[in-house]
Structure 1
Amino acid sequence: MRSRPTLYVMIGQPGAGKTTRARELERDHGALRFTPDDWMIPLFGEPEADGRRDILEGRFVWLAMRALRLGTNVILDFGVWTKAERSALRHLAAQAGADCVLVYLPIDPPEQLARVQSRQATDPGSTFPITPADLTEYRRLFQAPDGAELAGEHVEPPPTGCADWAAWAAGRWPTSLG
């Protein structure tokens, strides 16, 4: 009997090791990995080209759901900083007949800064500049998952005004539903 495919959702801030861990999961589970940073710089020359990242992530979500329906494991390596994003992805995975595993990689501020600075110094073509002020702002915006969320317990209803999580996802990630 074939097991259900799995959507792995990488959670964390820059420098936490998400892409390194995503590559391990890709290898260990024969998963298809979608990492926006691998695409943004080659396609657009920058990480946040006028909303193009949201459009690209939306296409990745769309492709991920298609791959899950075909029985392929998928990794979304976006960082997904909010609980709403994670809830939407968990819901979409369930609708595609897949399991969803949230992979959270916390990092303390000094280690984060050291990793980000090291990556920029050693491989500037694969990343983009991030300042200490950026990291402070990112920590302010980031919603760390709690134990219940990581355990895959109940997915809360979508925000008021959204018919379901798919509708919410379509607003968050243009092109996510096709």
Structure 2
Amino acid sequence: MKTEPVLHFFCGKMASGKTTLSRELASDHNAILISEDIWLSKLYPEEISTFEDYLKYSSRLKPFVLRHVQDILAQGISVVLDFPGNVPSQRQWFRSIIEAANVNHVLHYIVASDSLCKEQLRKRNAEQPEGSMIMSETDFDYITSYFQTPTADEGFNIIGYEPNQMGLLT
């Protein structure tokens, strides 16, 4: 029995657990995982050193990813996009993919405190997983100042998650 493809995407503060959840979902749903951090680190290894650089190169990447994701979804394969949907304009990009591909979707929203995110950020900085950049708590505070919780009137199918004391999502 063939299932319809689903586009999975994320909203959550920096270091809230989006990448960890994206890997789990890709495995659980036999989906293609596309990680913005990894693509950017491979395509622009020396160019991104500030948040403004990230915005510039992310905007260059998105048109190519959009078409690629549409093609994958058209083949009946689900996609997990590990790209942030932390402000309405970012979520609108996901909306454009959903509408063009005419597929179901899930916005996975991770609700995490600043203190937990900063703790996980320190851990990520120490471990430096593929695609990650060293980010300070000042960077976290600056970037998080732009964060906007998704609302029901945006029309997304939202599943919420809250990390427990060990950082695991429930």
What's the TM-score, normalizing by structure 1? Answer: 0.75
The alignment yields a C-alpha RMSD, in angstroms, of 2.4
**Aligned counterparts, 1:1-178, within 5 A:** 2-46=2-46, 48=48, 50=53, 51-123=56-128, 126-149=131-154, 152=157
- Give unpaired runs (5+ residues) of structure 1: 154-178
**Structure ranking higher in strand proportion:** 2
- Counterparts of 2:98 and 2:144, CA distance in 1: 27
Aligned to 2:164: none
Secondary structure in structure 2 of the residue aligned to 1:77: strand
The structural deviation recorded for 1:130 is 1.2
1:39-72 CA distances to partner (integer Å, 9 max, x unpaired)?
2223322573752222223322221111111111
> Between Structure 1 and Structure 2, how many residues are aligned?
153
**Does the 8 A contact of 1:40 with 1:47 survive in 2?**
no
* Percent of residue pairs identical: 26
The structural deviation recorded for 1:140 is 1.2
- Shift of the 9–139 alpha-carbon distance from structure 1 to 2, 3 Å rule, reads same
- Structure 1 stretch displaced more, 30-39 or 51-60: 51-60
**Does the 8 A contact of 1:10 with 1:103 survive in 2?**
yes
